[in-house]
Amino acid sequence: MSRRRKKNADRRRADDFLAAWQLERLEQDRALPLPARGPSEVTLLAYFVPPRDRLDERFPRLECAVREAWRHCGLLRTVIVVDRESAPVRAFADSIPNGLVRVQAEPSLAPNRPEAAAADLNAKLAERVSTNLVLTVREDAFPVRPGLAAYMDGLDFVGAPRARGGWWARFVARLLNSHAMDGAFSLRSLKLARLVAEEWAARGAGKPWRAAFDDGVFATRTLPRASFAYRRAVRFPEPSEAAVFCYDATGPAPGRVPPFGFRGAAAFKVLLDKGLV
């Protein structure tokens, strides 16, 4: 077996493992009373754009991610952005009292086009929420323990660190306030969302897609390196602090204390094997 085929097989096994855990965990979450309300200044945000023939299969996984966030952060007002209305998503939203879950349809989204969701985050995040902070989750990226409050004071973006390389790369990133972070599981400020939307209109909208436009990279690496005013206006954590917020399997394995959350099925498998979930 080639290295690429083995890597893909390992990725599928990790995803199947996470999916099985989520379905079992979801039954537990549904059986529990809804938790007490979480911080009023935070909105939970998720995108759900599955292939049409996998909608019923995939939504329980997103519901689990949302309920796990509620379990660890309190019952947060929640926005689910979809490409089209669907019965499972609507039924879930209607089952939560007081209109705490809102569904927003965005026709520009499409299955198998993750760049469309990233572009929407760059352009419209500030329009989708009204709270000062936004916690983003994904089917395979969500909290595993309490700890949200530790990141709510002063930071404009925190997610899994993506910056790698030697001392020179780290020096430049610190000098330009451009520590690249992933946006799958992240906490962002409304201030940052508004700044990003302005910059996206000028620098990204309508242009051919490239990796620098990924929502996490655009907010934390592309813009700080392109705009002096932007990098002076936003505050990011050091990579070591970001790694405690979210673990990604491409980074160093966590120690005895679990991260606040994770990104990707491979990262979840590592946490579970280490007894951190």
Contacts of 39 (CB under 8 A, 6+ apart): 73, 74, 76, 133, 148, 149, 152
- Would you state the structure tokens that stand for residue 112, as one six-digit string? 């198998």
Quick: pLDDT tens for 165-177.
Answer: 677 777 888 888 8
Confidence of residue 184 (pLDDT cuts 50, 70, 90): very high
Q: Is residue 156 within 8 Å of 191, Cβ to Cβ? A: yes
Q: What is the pTM of this model?
A: 0.94
Q: What is the pLDDT of residue 163?
A: 62
* Residue 57 neighbours by CB under 8 Å, 6+ apart: 50
136: which 2 tokens?
Answer: 């983003």
> How many Cα atoms are found within 13 Å in the side-chain-facing hemisphere of 149?
5
CA 41 to mean position of chain CA atoms: 17
What confidence tens digit (pLDDT) does each residue in 203-234 have?
Answer: 999 999 999 999 999 999 999 999 999 999 99
- Domain with 73 in it: what CATH number? 3.90.550.10
Domain enclosing residue 220, as ranges? 3-273
The pLDDT value recorded for residue 1 is 59
Rounded to whole angstroms, the Cα distance separating 53 from 201 reads: 34
pLDDT at 164: 66
**Centroid of chain to Cα 2:** 31
Q: What is the average per-residue pLDDT within 36-61?
A: 95
CA atoms of 218 and 229, how far apart (whole Å): 15
Rounded percentage of the chain residues whose pLDDT exceeds 70: 99
CA atoms within 13 A on the CB side of 148: 26
Q: Are 117 and 209 in contact (CB under 8 A)?
A: no
Q: Are 224 and 230 in contact (CB under 8 A)?
A: yes
As given in the structure block, the two tokens for residue 121 are 């985050």
Total count of domains within the chain: 1
Beta-carbon count within 10 A of 173 CB: 22
Mean pLDDT score of the chain: 94
